[in-house]
Structure 1
Amino acid sequence: MNAKDFLRLGVPLGEARRRATDFISRFILGGGDKSRLHEEVKAIVADPSAFVDDPLRGEFAKALISARRPSSGLRPPSPAPASEGTRAEPVKYRQWGEGLEHDAVMQMEKACLLPVSVAGALMPDAHVGYGLPIGGVLATESAVIPYAVAVDIACRMKMTVLDIPVRDLERKQERLTRAIEAETRFGVGANFKHRREHEVMDADWSVSGVTKRNKDRAWSQLGTSGSGNHFVEFGLFTAHSKINDLEAGTYVALLSHSGSRGTGAAVCDHYSKLAFGRCRTSLPSELLRLAWLPLDSQEGQEYWNAMELMGRYAAANHACIHRH
């Protein structure tokens, strides 16, 4: 179930929706029939007092009752209008998968409250990220959110299927290990003493002050992998049917995972701070990481051009690793 379903069933934003998400996760993990979810939620919304003592549904029911109860004899406050920084209701987003992390769903809900948000999507592997959940997609109108694009701009994976015998994966492990060590470097700040060559370094790196200042750094890190969950490894790839010109079968393949390295992080850091400054007075603190830059502003255009350059640079990193 997603925001659209909750709205249609009458589940309000805030604690009630958080408890609804928690109930759904526990219901599914407990072996509940997914096809009955709408009926279950609808019944609780219709008469929450009937479920307050239910061990599975009670917290959701109590949150609904609390949301409907006026405070100190006054009417509940109206939702904040867009002029106060957020929408009254989140824009529609689509969710694939059930039983997703509660906090990841809440991050998506909050992101869809931004006045620049148009639509969103949540993938089955979604989990908590920095502002926007990992595995979350947010479409915005005439705006870009640097922190949602992420620190490691254009982080990606690449696989090359190799024309070498499968038996070589075990027989020539030392040789394959040396090949990885020769073609990439691991660790924070890792670089090459002798610069690698790639046409991306002939691009216009003056599209922003950040990329211009970091060009030498980027060149020294071209082809490196960095740290964290980045890796390069040989393994087996099985094609169960023909893929273009590749016949079905099992092959040795090279797989890599990395992004735009230190320069990409510098781009994110610089333009995120500019976005934070623009939105600091209009966004609540929990949404500040989703601060945006208008695309018709100088900063927005600079970031967009730098982001695209970092995309080409990340692709070049993988190309260098897979070259030999």
Structure 2
Amino acid sequence: MSKDLQGYPVTGDHLKDWGHRPGKQFPTLLAKANDLRAEGYGLVRIRAELASEIAPPPATMALRTPGEIPFTENIDVEHPDEQHNVSKVRETMTAVMQTPTIAAGAIMPDACPAGPIGTIPVGGVVAARNAIHPGMHSADICCSVMISDLGNADPKAVLDAAQSVTHFGPGGRAQGKRFTTSLKLLDVFRENPFLNSPKTVRMAQEHMGTQGDGNHFLFVGRSRKTGRTAMVTHHGSRGPGAALYKTGMHVAERFRKQLSPETAKQNAWIPADVEEGRDYWEALQLIRKWTKANHNAIHQATVETAKLGDMGDRFWNEHNFVFKRDDLFYHGKGATPAWDGYAMDATGLTLIPLNMSEPVLVVRGQDTKNGLGFSPHGAGRNYSRSEHKRRMGAVTPEQLLAAETEGLDVRFHAGGVDASELPSSYKSADSVVAQIKSYGLAEIEDYIDPYGCIMAGDVPPFWKNKRKGRR
């Protein structure tokens, strides 16, 4: 008997190679194939026997015409910078809405472009039917914020403790300095086809307790309502999430070529009702658990290092994610769900950071129709980081920091001041707050007034570090 017939069952990969598309029929096909295998059939003959059961290719889905599916705007224009920004947002959102799966869309007051035309903007929300679009939650999957009520703790002591335990910048923690990662969660990662690579599992261990770079931060302030100290962290799923995004985009591209070749690559989707879609949805939930654990690890380490007691509530919410409501998948790119029970751990309260010199808003979502049930995630920008640097002229980052954050304890983990994260790089906080109120997107319940914060800082690109090492 040939090797072809001994101990080698037919798998789903065989069926895919033979032209069968994953779906509800797969278990039946596999059972039939392996029954034939047990009778002594070889792979070539089994393939021939199943050839008649290859489903015909699905009809391709054409792009919608511009304006066919409208989107609501929850954003005002008060000066030329805002006019230019909103024009770009409208242009890219109009193109996004041509994607065949999209049923509704909205933009928030913090909206700004996030890539080539046709890329969902920051502050964008789209509802899709039977489709998960990896490009619409971006590589920073489950970027999120968490707050801990630290009672009457000294804000400086909290910020000092946090600076000693947190980790900013690229990469993960070195051996011997890593935080504990749930072995149970890692085991479940290994069971999911989107997360079971050795690299992803390794990063899940190395990146626990890290916050990355860019606009991620650790903020300490006081509640205006209670006077109690609070700490807020902002970061996403780091390396594990980026790896999931890359794999998800690869799978979505395969479906795009089959289902809608005209759709822009960044808007490719995975059908939710196929095996890959179910696995990807589960992978998103696992990445969410990892990210929440990451926030918790930093908060708890800070509490223990500062030897704090009198702890109050701790809650969190995400803004680069996909949420299922009824029969639609809602993609929030820099937008926060604002309806009751959007997740099992939802408290009804969410956070909206503005900039390092302004309060973090504690809000209760209003589930408005015009916002598709979402609220903003922050202040947003009217122009790019490079444009902000150009407008600084001869003013140094250090001078701008001193002028815009007077009286605050602002620290940059890498040492260098990242001017693109200073308040003047963002939209007017007062304007964003006014629009949240005027469009009914959220009800503000408290303000966490700033004491200080830690940012990643001006981190040199990884290729510069490599070049320096070679020298």
Q: Closer, same or farther in 2 for the Cα pair 1:250/1:293, shift >3 Å?
A: same
Instruction: Give the C-alpha shift of residue 276 in structure 1.
Output: 2.2
- The 2-side partners of 1:305 and 1:84 are apart by 26
Identify the match of residue 91 of structure 1 among 56, 60, 69.
69
* CA apart distance, 1:85: 2.9
1:197 to 171, 180, 194: 180
The correspondence for 1:153, drawn from 133, 137, 141, is 141
Letter in 1 for 2:143: C
* Residue of structure 2 in register with 1:132 after alignment: 120
Matched, 1:114 2:91: no
SS state of the match for residue 196, structure 2? Answer: helix
Question: Contact (CA 8 Å) 2:181, 2:204: kept in 1 or not?
Answer: no
| Higher normalized helix content (fraction of residues) | 1
SS at structure 2 position matched to 1:122: strand
Tell me, what secondary structure is at the counterpart of 2:125? strand
- Matched residues in 1 for 2:209 and 2:188: separation? 19
* Unmatched tracts of structure 1, length 5 or more: 1-81, 240-248
Query: C-alpha distance in 1, partners of 2:69/2:187?
Result: 38
**RMSD between aligned alpha carbons?**
2.3
Return the match for 2:280 from 297, 303, 311.
303
TM-aligned CA deviation for residue 157 of structure 1: 0.9
1:184 match: 166
Contact preservation (8 Å) 2:181, 2:205: no
The structural deviation recorded for 1:84 is 6.0
Alignment check: 8 A CA contact 2:61 2:100 kept? no
Q: What is the CA distance between 1:98 and its match in structure 2?
A: 2.4
Choose which of 210, 227, 239 in structure 2 pairs with 1:262: 239
CA distance in 1, matches of 2:288, 2:256: 26
Alpha-carbon distance in structure 2 between the residues aligned to 1:260 and 1:136: 20
Give 1:212's match in structure 2, choosing from 157, 176, 196. 196
Amino acid corresponding to residue 69 of structure 2 in structure 1 = V
1:208, CA displacement in angstroms?
Answer: 2.9
Instruction: From the two aligned structures, give the one with the greater strand fraction.
Output: 2
Structure with the bigger RCO (C-alpha within 8 Å, sep 6+) is 2
Q: Distance in 1 between matches of 2:191 and 2:69?
A: 33
Task: Tell me the secondary structure at the aligned position of residue 204 of structure 1.
Answer: helix
The unaligned stretches of length 5 or more in structure 2 are: 1-58, 78-84, 304-471
2:213 is aligned to: 227
TM-aligned CA deviation for residue 300 of structure 1: 1.8
Contact 1:86–1:283 under 8 Å retained in 2? no
Q: Distance in 2 between matches of 1:304 and 1:160?
A: 29
Give 1:27-66 correspondences, 5 Å limit: none
Normalising by structure 2, report the TM-score: 0.45
Structure 2 counterpart of 1:189, which letter?
G
Cα deviation, residue 255, structure 1 = 1.2
What is the rounded CA distance, in whole Å, between the counterparts of 2:120 and 2:99 in structure 1?
12
Kept after mapping to 2: 8 A contact 1:275/1:293: yes
Pairwise CA distance, 1:150? 1.3
Hey, what's the Cα distance between the residues in 2 that align with 1:104 and 1:295? 28
C-alpha offsets along residues 181-201 of structure 1, whole Å, 9 cap, x if unaligned? Answer: 343211111325344235473
- Counterparts of 2:170 and 2:68 in 1: how far apart (Å)? 39
1:141 to 124, 129, 138: 129
Q: Indicate if the aligned counterparts of 1:192 and 1:221 stay in contact, CA closer than 8 A.
A: no
Equivalence for 1:237: 223
Q: Would the aligned equivalents of 2:194 and 2:279 in 1 still touch at CA under 8 Å?
A: no
| Residue equivalent to 2:256 | 279
Residue identity over aligned pairs, in percent, reads 28
Q: Give a deviation string over 1:46-78, Cα, whole Å, max 9, x none.
A: xxxxxxxxxxxxxxxxxxxxxxxxxxxxxxxxx
Contact 2:142–2:287, Cα closer than 8 Å, also in 1: yes
1: CA distance between counterparts of 2:223 and 2:166? 22
Please list the CA deviations of residues 68-114 of structure 1 after superposition, one character each: whole Å capped at 9, or x if unmatched.
xxxxxxxxxxxxxx956301343132221223621112222112111
Distance in structure 2 (CA, Å) of the matches to 1:155 and 1:90: 31
CA shift for structure 1 position 216: 2.4
Runs of 4+ in 1 over 4 A off after TM superposition: none
The separation in 2 between residues aligned to 1:104 and 1:283, in whole angstroms, is 24
Q: What corresponds to 1:289 in structure 2?
A: 266
Deviations 1:138-183 (A, max 9, x none): 1101110001011111101111121125xx33xxx3x434411343
Paired residues of 1:90 and 1:110 also in contact (CA < 8 A): no
- Count of matched residue pairs: 227
Amino acid at match of 1:90: E
Which string of whole-angstrom CA distances, capped at 9 and with x for unpartnered residues, describes residues 112-137 of structure 1? 11111111111111111241111111
